[in-house]
Structure 1
């Protein structure tokens, strides 16, 4: 099952993001290698500065998705003001299902 993790950064926490970015990227690489990460990237403000994260992951259920999200170095560093976890279905442009409806 796929889950979208929509994470909003705390205001004025850009340095926390920058300081923890290498560990965050390594975390995402490991998720990708395990086949759990479908895609991820930052949300940007009008000046192009990161303000949050969108990650779509594969997990057995919402509880596992929440655990994966909590293990992210950004989450452990206290970067996020909020995290929303939503079940999601990838319909269009899904490389695992090239015969989109």
Structure 2
């Protein structure tokens, strides 16, 4: 186990902007913008995990880990502007800072 100090961890909670969309978000062509964002986060080395919440259709969570402390503002900008599915209003995102004290 190691400490998460010196890193910025965030949980991104995604919800459909139109709650009536529910689980049908996967079939919407705008979902591709979200997948492109996740690929960019993978390429940057920031993506830890991402996937749907099984108890709430259409909702999902992404965990990002950015090297360096105090990068919450950058993570928030990425989540709200770089993810075009959020920037164009397909999804809403709640950015939650996460203090990780242990991880594998």
TM-score (norm 1): 0.69
8 Å Cα contact 2:12-2:93 kept in structure 1: no
RMSD of equivalent CA atoms: 2.4
Matches within 5 A, 1:12-31: 12-14=20-22, 18-31=28-41
Report the CA distance between 1:75 and its aligned residue: 0.4
Note the residue ranges of structure 1 that are not aligned, 5 or more in a row: 95-101
Higher RCO (CA-CA < 8 Å; seq separation 6+) = 2
Unmatched runs of 5 consecutive residues or more in structure 2: 1-7
Report if aligned partners of 1:37, 1:58 keep a CA contact under 8 Å in 2: yes
Q: 1:31 to 1:68 in 2, by over 3 A?
A: same
How does the TM-score come out when normalised to structure 2? 0.67
1:60-94 C-alpha deviation (Å, 9 max, x unpaired):
521011011012122023133451322241634x3
| Maintained 8 Å contact 1:69/1:75 | yes
Q: How many residues align?
A: 90
**Structure 1 counterpart of 2:64, from 45, 57, 64:** 57
2:85 aligns with: 74
Q: Secondary structure in 2 aligned to 1:69?
A: helix
